[in-house]
Amino acid sequence: MARYRNIVVLTGAGISAESGVATFRDAGGLWEQHRIEDVATPDAFQRDPDLVQGFYNQRRAQLFTVDPNPAHIALGKLEQLLDGTVTVVTQNVDNLHERGGSKNIIHMHGELSKVRCRHCSIVVEWLEDCTQETRCPNCSDAPALRPHIVWFGEMPFDMERIESLLYACDLFVSVGTSGNVYPAAGFVSAVRSTGVAHTIEINLEPSEGASYFAETRHGKAGDLVPALVDELLE
């Protein structure tokens, strides 16, 4: 394998599946059990904030019942040992990359372990339940706190920084994402437009965008990511 010095790894729900976190669009996935328009849009929050807070409280509580798997841990090792830069751009809102040892992480869809005040805009670490009665620790307002999550119809975080990383990388790896949701689904095309970077998809099955990748490896992230990391560090 060529020597890569500037690696961007895009991750989706599939990388956390072997840790026991449900994906969105697989059989039995979250969007089979809940309607997006009931729990994951600004309108849903306005209409029924208790339902939406409850949905995210449940998912936040789940963080305490899951652990990083070999794929998260391998990416942490890659960042630590590569003679170069590794950035994980994740669509996941769990904290398994941090717990797997990665430090250079962009949570483009937000983080379950944070809430944001709609009045004073502060973003704070939050590992407990959050309700409409919970007061903002900064401005004391209530109801004011919302999950620090990018809902459908909202702009993902850090897009400018992500774009510059995509145009500058020499290897782009996508792990465990179905390629259904933009802008992440378009990242591979942006990378390929530079004509210099190699692109690899790792997914259980070919994603919607599999044909855009120069190389595809299909199987479990927990097996394939550690194998790729070993090749990259050889």
Q: Which is nearer to ligand APR, 192 or 217 (CB)?
A: 217
Binders of ligand APR among 110-169, rule CB under 6 A?
Answer: none
Q: Which is nearer to ligand APR, 29 or 101 (CB)?
A: 29
Catalytic residue among 109, 119, 148, 218: 109
Which of 4, 8, 10, 18 is close enough to bind ligand APR by CB under 6 A? Answer: 18
Terminus-to-terminus CA distance in the chain, angstroms?
8
| Region near ligand APR per CB under 6 A, out of 18-26, 79-87, 122-130, 139-147 | 18-26
CA distance 63 to 94: 7
Concerning whether 72 is annotated as a catalytic residue, the answer is no
Q: How far is the CB of 72 from ligand APR (least distance, A)?
A: 12
Q: How many residues bind ligand APR (CB under 6 A)?
A: 23
Considering the rule CB under 6 A, would residue 178 count as an interface residue with ligand APR?
A: yes
* Crossing angle between the packed helical segments 221-233 and 70-81, to the nearest 10 degrees: 20
Contacts of 96 (CB under 8 A, 6+ apart): 15, 16, 19, 21, 66, 67, 68, 69, 72
Considering the rule CB under 6 A, would residue 13 count as an interface residue with ligand APR?
A: yes
Considering the rule CB under 6 A, would residue 198 count as an interface residue with ligand APR?
A: no
Q: Which two tokens stand for residue 161?
A: 């920084």
Which of 148, 203, 209, 228 is close enough to bind ligand APR by CB under 6 A? Answer: 203
CA distance 75 to 137: 34
Q: How far is the CB of 41 from ligand APR (least distance, A)?
A: 11
Q: How far is the CB of 207 from ligand APR (least distance, A)?
A: 5
Task: Point out the residues that are catalytic.
Answer: 109
Residues contributing to the site for ligand APR (CB under 6 A) = 12-14, 17-18, 23-26, 29, 91, 109, 176-178, 180-181, 203-205, 207, 220-221
